[in-house]
């Protein structure tokens, strides 16, 4: 049940007041989502643009964030990998239905360091590392049997010991230039607080928006 009055108005609460570092605010919201979301609180929609200028969107998992930005990993030969390498700008959306909140992020994209990619790849389950070699992501697949065959081939190639990171597998970092926090309100009178800056080394500006 909403905590709004029958008029749809309600007092602002500290979490939606301007000020504070947006990453601190994001950390608080994510921590709450990790307690309440039944599955993948780090799931985020990633929007890109292809070579024809057509938008593209899919769900990926956040694997880390700090003052430099938000990180996820993928195959650079996938559709999203090729799109981000060609057009290094992206948008993210976190939607936490249990909390009736969302966070929208827009920013510039860069590739993570080799050391970061190696460290994260090594932390993955062995079967996931084998799968990264076996999957020609976003390419046509004749049938499930073809994928199973590729998995078996690489399992034989790396039967024991470390599985090296494929050269086409790494990560992207989205450095935010805009972060919007949205909280559901009764009668669609939602709370919206947006942070904007002109560059990664610039100060954040805040602004409240109409629903």
Q: 144, 188, 192, 205: which one is catalytic? A: 188
To the query of whether residue 153 is one of the catalytic residues in this protein, the response is: no
What are the backbone angles phi and psi of residue 152, rounded to the nearest 5°? -65, -40
Would you state the structure tokens that stand for residue 47, as one six-digit string? 């929007």
- The number of CA neighbours under 13 Å toward the Cβ of 147 is 12
Distance CA 78, CA 125 (A): 21
**Helix (H) or strand (E) segment spanning residue 207:** strand 205-208
Which 8-state DSSP code applies to residue 66?
A: E
Asked if 135 and 141 count as a contact pair (C-beta separation under 8 A), the reply is: no
- The number of CA neighbours under 13 Å toward the Cβ of 167 is 0
* Angle subtended at Cα 91 by Cα 105 and Cα 69, rounded to the nearest 5 degrees: 55
Active site residues: 188
């Amino acid at each position: 049940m909403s905590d709004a009055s029958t008029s749809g108005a309600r007092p602002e609460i500290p979490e939606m007041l301007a000020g504070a570092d947006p990453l601190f605010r994001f950390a608080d919201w994510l921590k709450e989502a990790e307690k309440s979301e039944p599955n993948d609180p780090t799931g985020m929609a990633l929007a890109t643009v292809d070579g024809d200028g057509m938008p593209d969107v899919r769900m990926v998992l956040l694997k880390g964030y700090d003052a430099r930005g938000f990180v996820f990993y993928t195959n650079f030969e996938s559709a999203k990998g090729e799109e981000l390498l060609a057009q290094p700008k992206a948008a993210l959306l976190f939607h936490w239905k249990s909390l009736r909140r969302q966070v929208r992020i827009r920013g510039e994209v860069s590739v993570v360091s080799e050391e970061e990619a190696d460290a994260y790849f090594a932390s993955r389950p062995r079967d996931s590392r084998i799968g990264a070699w076996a999957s020609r992501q976003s390419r046509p697949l004749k049938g499930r049997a073809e994928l199973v065959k590729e998995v078996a081939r690489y399992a034989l190639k790396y039967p024991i010991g470390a599985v090296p990171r494929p050269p086409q597998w790494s990560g992207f970092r989205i450095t935010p230039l805009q972060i919007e926090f949205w909280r559901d309100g009764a009668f669609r009178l939602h709370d919206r607080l947006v942070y904007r800056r002109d560059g990664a080394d610039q100060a954040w500006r805040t602004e409240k928006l109409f629903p």
